[in-house]
Amino acid sequence: MSAPLWSGDQLIAALGARAEGAVPAAVTGISIDTRTLEPGDAFFAITGEARNGHDFVAAALEKGAALAVVDEAHAAQFAGKGALAIVPDVLKAMERAGSARRAELKAGIVAVTGSVGKTGTKDALRLVLSRQGKTHAPVASYNNHWGVPLTLCRTPADVDYAVYEIGMNHPGEILPLAKLVRPQVSIITTIQPVHLAAFESLEGIAEEKAGVFWELEPGGTAIVNADIPQAELLERIAKAGPAGQVIRFGESADADVRLISCALKSDVSTVEALVMGQPVTYRLGSPGKHIVLNSLAVLAAVKALGADLALAALALGDLRPPAGRGAQQKLEGPGGPFTLIDESYNGNPASMRAAIENLGRIPIAGRGRRIAVLGDMLELGPSGGALHKGLGEAILTNHVDAVFACGPLMRELYDSLPSTLRGAYAAQASGLEPLVLDAIRGGDVVMVKGSLGTRMGPIVKAVVARFPALTAE
């Protein structure tokens, strides 16, 4: 039987809290959401943009929370309803507990950031490291000011490896999160025009992302994409900080983990690479050139941690794209089966191009078409219109047959396309949904993608609800 995540007394001390009620002997999980709370969890009443967690404390305690972490301003209303940990500020207390747990860990710690590919790289690291020891990583993209401390608090003290994803929308966000994690290995997947509305240049984005290098443990490893224009800048920053070594990955001749060749298919890739002088050939169970390149960063991290490279390469064959990030389904449409590719979780210029390229690799049957259903890419600043219009080349070169678009920015692309490629346009995703449903026919390959705020996910759900799934024979 595994040890509890925290003892009650240990968590109270880590929070710097004042306890009221019977402190539980054990806390088995950490929750910020009563919908997923399990009996024995500690419920943290953090305040978000839309909701105040204190509105759900009573429900959490009724559902079996072992403890509720609340602030002084709200504590009196919960007196006698259950065990409380009372603090001045719930989020700051979570950060404090996360730091306390990090201080206990004797694990190999990896931090992952970058404009694109953070979550996929984190998931790949969890997969390959879990084959070699007890591994913890966030269940979703918990990479912000509450997600990182939450993940630290959820990390069991006895793990062998832990992987943390660190993200940002604005300047000044990376460094404090990296300071909480204090990684031995830090990866920056790439620098791309994402969140340009908050930064003046790609170099500014690179400097912000490089916060993960400043907070490396002394002698740690910085992993840098050798193929991007900001590679030298990132390497200089890493060498000016506590890093003991810098590993460059990519296709460049000077990469330490270098792609030699790859065979890209619609669902898998075969990769030949040279990892710090060691030849490695492996199968990658998730499609796309960008996934291939990020797998090099994964192997670089494995090497830096001293883990088994051959076992890691073998495990990559079991990598699968998660829902919203390239997952494929076969559905029965009018006149035969078709393929749905769910890329609805997010969209930016780099990931959009990668998704269009993968769409172009998928064979179509009979009268089938390659259909791209695209929503706006957000937070691109003044260059947003041009970046959307610039996707036209990818649409043409990857043999996309029809584009269904929504949003004012994606209108720039739609209007620039030849009339034969214009499927339909709507101002919002909700207006596009029925047009897409009516257009689908057997043999099609339909890819849905856009920034999370454009709400492309409901289009995917509507397609799945309308057309029955095909079962494997």
pLDDT at 2 (0 to 100): 65
Task: Look up the pTM and report it.
Answer: 0.87
pLDDT at 122 (0 to 100): 97
Kindly list the strands in the beta sheet with 67-71, ordered across the sheet, starting from the edge strand earlier in the chain: 18-20, 84-87, 67-71, 41-44, 29-31
Token output for 155: 């990390």
pLDDT at 7 (0 to 100): 97
pLDDT at 473 (0 to 100): 42
pLDDT at 199 (0 to 100): 83
Low pLDDT (below 70) residues in the chain: 1-2, 195-196, 471-473
pLDDT tens by residue, 256-266: 999 999 999 88
- Residue 437: is it exposed, middle or buried by C-beta count within 10 angstroms (0-12/13-18/19+)? middle
3-state secondary structure of 299: helix
Token output for 262: 């790859």
Task: Give the dihedral of Cα atoms 165, 221, 116, 106; nearest 10 deg.
Answer: -20
Phi first, then psi: what are they for 280, rounded to 5°? -140, 130
